[in-house]
Structure 1
Amino acid sequence: MRFSCLDAPEVPHTKQERASYDPIDIDQFKWGRLARNRLTQLIHQAGDRVALTVVDTDRYGRKVADVRLSNGALVQEILIREGLAVVYKQYIKSCSNATLVEQAEIQARQQKIGVWGDPSFIPPSEWRHNNK
């Protein structure tokens, strides 16, 4: 499954990535771990239950979904507002919550929250492109 509208920093997936001393990788994985930890915290606070609304299937066959907590909050908006993820610009046209997440990103950028306060941060899509 993939979250709609959102592109989160990467976490290391391979032994080589886990062993990397490249400052760009270290920074990317730091933010990826922070995003993953915050997501875990949000889900736990919601009683370990979320509501998924599948909105698409990506080219790899993964379901793309809006993810809401038990209080109705959109997880994507929270992570983007907290500067732990960015709007996935490549797919924003098909995002039913585009305005909401774009506003969240504007706020985070203006306030230099999370990744927006890190001058070394490279957007996840750019990091993935450079590490093919």
Structure 2
Amino acid sequence: MTGQPPVSNVSVPPTPAAPGVKKNMALVALCMTIVASLLIILGFFLAGKAGAAALSNLDVTAAQAADTKRLIFLAVASILNLVAFILGLIALIKSRPKTMPLIIFLVVIFLPSIATGIGTAIQNSMVHL
């Protein structure tokens, strides 16, 4: 023999991800949803303001530009909400305990709808519909 101790073939299992990572994913999803909801409300507000001015002057092209601005804000918010939904879902599936990720996941699902309702109400009050 060579005088060296035998090498054991014991493999070390990989360490699981820190629980804080999943919590951080859920919090990032919440922040993204809040930013997206603010973008939704801002888009409706700006479109309502420009739309009201366009309707008072009977300018159809300005009204279409205001609607295009609203659609751009909604598109960016939709992408943010999609990413937030995926992050919230991953955090919900992988984390233990599931209480906080479940609450955040529900917020990710329902907050954009609430923001859209608020934005629509703001826009309708500005345009006087």
What TM-score comes out, normalization by structure 2 length? 0.29
Higher relative contact order, chain-length normalized (CA < 8 Å, sep 6+) = 2
Structure exhibiting the larger radius of gyration computed from Cα positions? 2
What TM-score comes out, normalization by structure 1 length? 0.29
Answer 1 or 2: which has greater strand percent. Answer: 1
Answer 1 or 2: which has greater helix percent. Answer: 2
